[in-house]
Structure 1
Amino acid sequence: MGDAMKDDVMKDRTEQLVDYIMKKCLWQFHSRAWDRTRQNEGILTRTRQLLCGEPVDISTPEARCYWVDAVCMADAFRARYAWLADMSRDEIAELMQGLHERIEFLTVTGSLNLELTDQKY
């Protein structure tokens, strides 16, 4: 598969995962930017670890909270997107990095919600 075709496939798959998160995951709706960033990092990192068969840190209550959401999301991704089974660990890691960047943009840096940065909120 050529690089341009691979990029198109990866972009399409990323958008499929974004669509799932935007429609099914309530954790994306924290009211502060720093909360959203921390939540995105915590859940999406653990989801990547689960999908890649890597160890997952569950040593703190916060880590376990993110882990629970990550387990649900990894299970849903596997059930809905059969193409994940055909991807290597490196490809899944690349996909999840792209997903993380896209979700961070949509929910934090590119969001027009002014409450996210209101110091009094």
Structure 2
Amino acid sequence: MDDVMKDRVEQLVDYIMKKCLWQFHSRAWDRERQNEEILTKTMQLLCGEPVETATPADRCYWVDAVCMSEAFKERYPWLNTMDKEDIKSLMRGLKERIDYLTITGSLNKELHDTLY
């Protein structure tokens, strides 16, 4: 990942860390599922692709993705100039970074407590 892409990922990370409550679930598996579903749906919206909304959970993730994709497009004009493959690459990098910050790199021991 080049420096421009890393900078863009960090801009999106900064937005999520400051504005999105879904990243604070108390269990690792909840965070993994939410990161995957919300960020995938956000990527699909940004790329103009269809988004699955068949189940109540799908619709819940979709609502977060709609809000986030609209905010991303408004706050980061460079996103509107990217092609679909670059957006997908950006979103993969964002998911990797968010997974690290909220799950694998987290010092919160309760995330992996089987009794919690």
Q: Which interval holds the TM-score relative to the shorter structure?
A: over 0.9
What CA distance in whole angstroms lies between the structure 2 residues aligned with 1:88 and 1:99? 16
Moved over 4 A (4+): none
Structure-2 residue corresponding to 1:95: 90
Structure-1 residue corresponding to 2:105: 110
* 1:76 is aligned to 2:71: yes
- Structure 2 unaligned residues grouped into runs of 5+: none
Query: In the comparison of the two structures, how many residue pairs are matched?
Result: 116
- Report the CA distance between 1:119 and its aligned residue: 1.0
Q: Deviations 1:93-119 (Å, cap 9, x if unpaired)?
A: 000000001000100011000010011
What CA distance in whole angstroms lies between the structure 1 residues aligned with 2:36 and 2:10? 18
What CA distance in whole angstroms lies between the structure 1 residues aligned with 2:81 and 2:65? 20
Structure-1 residue corresponding to 2:56: 61
What CA distance in whole angstroms lies between the structure 1 residues aligned with 2:81 and 2:57? 32
- Report the CA distance between 1:120 and its aligned residue: 1.1
- What is the DSSP-based 3-state SS (H/G/I as helix, E as strand, rest coil) of the residue aligned with 1:55? coil
Letter in 1 for 2:94: L
Larger radius of gyration: 1
Q: Deviations 1:44-87 (Å, cap 9, x if unpaired)?
A: 00000000000000010000000000000000000000001110
* 1:14 is aligned to 2:9: yes
Letter in 2 for 1:78: K
